[in-house]
């Protein structure tokens, strides 16, 4: 569990850099990390936000610009996913769940910050879900394949129907693909629970934004893909219990 949490914190830092750089066309693997305000390359002690953020009181130690909580939140979530997944399933299934959670974390953050669910993450996530269904435990390969198909076709049909009825997009093109990936990992039987939980989370997010004084209109954008990703990993943890309950 501790090893998963430590590795998760490291991956969380990488995911934060990925989310910050990739949409700008910058390489994640090349070039040193730098302050977004002054451009100063960061030293090794600045690259662990969980440590550098409190030590520097949330500011760049070179220019004093305020640093958002985004980086250390990503590290905490990455550590949580790594630790909890391996604690709940200390086997190859747990390793699969770690990969599932970290990829969902990257997609959720990309969607929240940029309204973007890139195929280069979503499509491999679908294939990984189909492949991992051959491991022990639910879903079976057939349930995984049906879940992927139902996830994509179900959300895509909602997307097309909304566009025809309202004359504008209500869902992004990446949302049905992400729902397909979640269906591949969880199986079609669990998809209604995912959709319900994500919808409730979206309502809570909208109410929170409204209470914070941010205006919401009919055409206001909410990162629904991030909501789907946020509820999918906890449901993966509960998957054996869910299937056992559904079988009764």
Q: What would the pLDDT profile of 111-150 be if each residue is shown by its tens digit?
A: 999 999 999 999 999 999 999 999 877 999 999 999 999 9
Spans of all domains in the chain: 1-88, 117-248
The answer to whether 81 and 101 have CB atoms below 8 angstroms apart is yes
pLDDT per residue over 90-112, tens digit each? 888 899 999 999 999 999 999 99
Q: Is residue 139 reached through a cis peptide bond, with omega within 30 degrees of 0 on the bond before it?
A: yes
pLDDT at 227: 97
pTM (predicted TM-score): 0.90
Is residue 30 over pLDDT 90?
no
pLDDT at 206: 85
- Mean per-residue pLDDT over the chain, rounded: 87
């Amino acid at each position: 569990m501790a090893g998963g949490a430590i590795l998760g914190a490291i991956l969380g830092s990488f995911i934060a850099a990925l989310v910050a750089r990739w949409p700008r066309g910058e390489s994640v693997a090349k070039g040193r990390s730098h302050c977004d305000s002054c451009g100063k390359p960061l030293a090794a002690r600045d690259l662990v936000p969980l440590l550098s953020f409190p030590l520097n009181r949330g500011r760049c130690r070179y220019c004093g610009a305020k640093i958002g909580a985004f980086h250390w939140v990503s590290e905490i979530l990455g550590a949580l996913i790594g630790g909890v997944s391996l604690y709940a399933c200390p086997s190859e299934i747990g390793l699969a769940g770690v990969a599932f959670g970290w990829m969902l974390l990257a997609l959720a953050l990309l969607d929240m910050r940029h309204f973007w669910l890139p195929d280069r993450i979503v499509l491999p996530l679908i294939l990984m879900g189909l492949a991992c269904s051959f491991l022990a435990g639910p879903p079976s390969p057939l349930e995984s394949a049906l879940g992927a198909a139902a996830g994509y076709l179900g959300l895509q049909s909602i997307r097309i129907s909304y566009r025809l009825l309202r004359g504008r997009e209500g869902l992004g093109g990446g949302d049905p693909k992400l729902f397909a990936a979640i269906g591949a990992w969880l199986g079609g039987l669990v998809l209604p629970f995912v959709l319900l939980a994500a919808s409730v989370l979206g309502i809570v997010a909208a109410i929170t934004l409204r209470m914070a004084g941010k205006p919401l209109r009919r055409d206001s954008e909410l990162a629904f893909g991030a909501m789907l990703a946020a509820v999918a990993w906890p449901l993966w943890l509960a998957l054996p219990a869910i299937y056992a309950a559904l079988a009764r």
